[in-house]
Structure 1
Amino acid sequence: MNDLAEHQISVSDPEIVKCPYEAYEKLREEAPVYLDPVTQFYVLTRYEDVRKAFSQPNLYLNDDWVQSIQDEVQIARRKHAHERFTKEGWVPGLSIGMLRPERHAPVRAIFNNAFRPAKIKEYEPFIRETAYRFARQFAEKGSGDLIAEFAMPYPLTVIARLVGIPEDDMDRVKEWTAAWIERFGMMLDDQADDRAVGKEIEFQHYTKKIIDRLRAEPDGSILSEIINMPTPDGRYLDDQELFTHIQADLLVAGSETTTNTMSAGVMLLCRNPEINAMVRSDPDKYLRVFIEEVLRLESPVQGLFRVAAEDIELHGVTIPKGALIQLRYGSANRDPEKFGCPAEFDMTRKANAHVAFGGGPHSCAGAPFARAELYWAFKALFDTIDNVELLPDNDFEYLQSVVHRSLKSLNIRFTKK
């Protein structure tokens, strides 16, 4: 299992965060069940193993996996954060991805209803309008940072509308979501982690007013439906649950996937001019296929966690009960046993076979919404700018995270159409 440990392959290594694919290949071939020597969680890298884990939710538990991290530094941070939340705000509930099956199903029913196809269709004109607004503003500049100017503010503006946050507060929303993402990535120092906790407490107090208003005056928005719809067993979500669902499951999950996929997609278009020409020639035919291939090649979430409900025997390795396991989506999506020539951009590849949105009962409830955001983002870009190229000053620096693949900036130049 850990013959590679002497080489210190770790998903937390900054060089692997920047370009993980060579490490993934070694792990898939030599140690498909790998105890990361730095993070001390088990990493599954093969497609079939990840898919099987999705289909066995009572064995690979969605749980409060943070509590499974027994590193002394993380334990001390959790204790300090709990004290701050108790004193200054509210101890957060669990995101939908951390709920065990018996707790997950009732909450998932609410989210499935809120993100039903008819509701997404209702919001699509606003999604389209917002995409074109940001694209046209960006097109006037001739060059700039795609992420700062379009890929980050566009999906945040859309999701903020869903939860009743005015656009004037978008800078604060960016701070709150960035802090949550960085803390979730588990690679901050003590001071930065504490600052992120403070930002989450700020967000709680801000959001409390929105929750109270929508309880008193439902407005038919997606958040209003989540707040005011009972679970199948007749229970309403409380404030602590809602704080986390709004921040993690709506604002972060609803924007980060789009931001990361937009930046990755534009970078791939610049590096693959023949793909760029093909998609531009007939967006109605090729755009959705292109988006799925970007999601596969540059999975915006590189991996999420499970907890072993009992001892698990896999490839001759025993994962002990209670151990933390990361299902590495980014590696599974490049497994040659599933995808021929997995590192190549293939517009004829079967769509949706990837696991960028997870799978099984815990698959991403907002995936159709994210796909709508991505479609209109790229459609707006194709309709407003041309001759896109990467600027030489790009450093291609990624957020230090064991979860997200998040490019910090992407400087491009282009001509306005």
Structure 2
Amino acid sequence: MTDIANPANACPVSSFDPLDPETMQCPHPWYQSLRRDAPVHFVASRGMWFVTSKDLVDEALLNHDVFSSAFGLPQMPPPDSVAEEVAAIAAEGWEHLPTLLTADPPEHHYYRRMVARAFTPRFVAQREPEIRQIVADLLAEIPEGQPIEFVEAFAAPLPLHIIAAALGVSDDRIDDFRRWSDQFALTLGAEIDADGALEQARSLLEYQRYFVAQLEDRRTDPRDDLITGLVQASNAGDDEPLSNGAALSIIQQILIAGNETSRKLMTGTLHQLALNPTWWNWFKEDPAARSADLVEEALRFLTPVQSMFRITKAEATLGDYTIPPGSMVVLAFGSANRDEAQFADGEEFNPARENAKSHLAFGSGIHTCLGASLARLQARIALEELATRYAGVTLADDNDFEYEPSFMLRGLKRLSLVFDATGGHRS
């Protein structure tokens, strides 16, 4: 167990390895050491520069001319033993195109324009009734007064159903969405074995074939959904229509960003509320008025997207540090969002924090997450409904609090909770 009160004792900067299993389970003591002793640090064993202070992460995010997003796929590569077989499977599908996450201007501006035309404020606002119905349907299945595994019962299916509804595809593909999304996320800041890499490649091909069929369907039978919006986005301007490859890249990012991150945000927020009944009671006093503050602090404290890559197009200077051209840089949002120079008592969960919304959970600059408004909306609705329905929430006895093994996507694998309609608390 690392000493978060005095991380220098247990977490010397020279020993930092982002892919070490223990580090991925609890990175925050390491981030404290890095912010204090080396806010820009080269991890030679991984060939990565880690930027951990908020001011320097902010600076890099806004300097996209030097800190490029054209770093390729954000996944770790497959093992050498199956690299050729993985490539052969990929060749049966559509080439991955850099779009939102992995593109620089002017290409990035084109793709962002196209998605923004489909993903409008009106489109997001119209989702509220269906989100409330999805939340109500899921909560109706949660028993009171007995342990439930919250990820499987609520946090995982919630965003999957919302994404399915937004894309306009039937609920009978929810299991496939979950499997595809989980497969995509396996190598985001983590390594998998040869069998896992082959399964991931096959899942990607299956995903591509399904959604190309959906794209073709919307070209002949448009509907009020996001896939139709992507197909028709060029009608609003002089842009070329999205290719199938570009649309597949965008939908894949929607699946990961909309599913994985919302699942981890909801699970982590309930974990914190169960740990801190004072904040649960504070929230219950006025859920509608306080849900926005709770969500912003949860985003800051939990930061489901813990980090993102950049690659330097030229020699870069951050603070007192010089980074060579062509370097892989990791912008550690999870560290920046707890930087004590920006957030007093940043290691504490405090929904009444006044400056929580200055977090970087959705990035910043030209790559700010386009789905932030939908993520906030569904989180607020879900938390309001939970607080309205239940008097108390406590941790069950069978939790192990194990996190997914990734330095990029951080969240609990499972969370066992007890929801109490009478307000009693388990000892």
TM over 0.5: yes
TM-score range, shorter chain: over 0.9
What secondary structure does 1:413 align onto? Answer: strand
> Structure 2 regions of 5+ residues with no counterpart?
1-10, 423-427
Write the letter of the residue equivalent to 2:414.
S
Q: What is the CA-CA distance between 1:74 and the residue it aligns to? A: 5.9
Q: 1:21 to 1:5 in 2, by over 3 A?
A: closer
Q: What is the CA-CA distance between 1:247 and the residue it aligns to? A: 1.6
What are the within-5 Å matches in structure 2 for residues 1-400 of structure 1? 7-66=14-73, 79-86=84-91, 88-139=92-143, 142-230=146-234, 232-248=237-253, 250-346=254-350, 347-400=352-405
What secondary structure does 2:106 align onto? Answer: helix
Calculate percent identity across the aligned residue pairs.
Answer: 28
What secondary structure does 2:309 align onto? Answer: strand
Write the letter of the residue equivalent to 2:26.
C
Q: Is the 8 A contact 1:139 1:384 kept in 2?
A: no
- Distance in 2, matches of 1:12 and 1:67, equals 15
Write 1 or 2 for the structure with the bigger share of helix.
1
- Distance in 2, matches of 1:306 and 1:126, equals 37
Q: What is the CA-CA distance between 1:110 and the residue it aligns to? A: 1.7
Q: What is the CA-CA distance between 1:64 and the residue it aligns to? A: 3.3
- Distance in 2, matches of 1:124 and 1:6, equals 46
> Structure 1 regions of 5+ residues with no counterpart?
none
Q: What is the CA-CA distance between 1:77 and the residue it aligns to? A: 6.0
Q: 1:139 to 1:113 in 2, by over 3 A?
A: farther
Q: 1:224 to 1:270 in 2, by over 3 A?
A: same
Q: What is the CA-CA distance between 1:386 and the residue it aligns to? A: 2.9
Write the letter of the residue equivalent to 1:355.
L
Write the letter of the residue equivalent to 1:27.
L
- Distance in 1, matches of 2:128 and 2:65, equals 36
Q: Is the 8 A contact 1:358 1:364 kept in 2?
A: yes
Q: What is the CA-CA distance between 1:297 and the residue it aligns to? A: 0.6
Write the letter of the residue equivalent to 1:185.
G
What secondary structure does 1:149 align onto? Answer: helix
Query: Could you list the per-position Cα deviations for residues 332-390 of structure 1 after superposition, in whole angstroms to 9, with x for gaps in the alignment?
Result: 00001111111122213224100000000100000001000101111121122332111
Q: Is the 8 A contact 1:45 1:328 kept in 2?
A: yes
Q: Is the 8 A contact 1:96 1:107 kept in 2?
A: yes
- Distance in 2, matches of 1:166 and 1:395, equals 35
Write the letter of the residue equivalent to 2:251.
I
Q: 1:67 to 1:168 in 2, by over 3 A?
A: closer
Write the letter of the residue equivalent to 2:260.
E
- Distance in 2, matches of 1:79 and 1:367, equals 37
When normalised by structure 1's length, the TM-score is: 0.93
RMSD: 2.1
Write the letter of the residue equivalent to 2:405.
Q
When normalised by structure 2's length, the TM-score is: 0.91
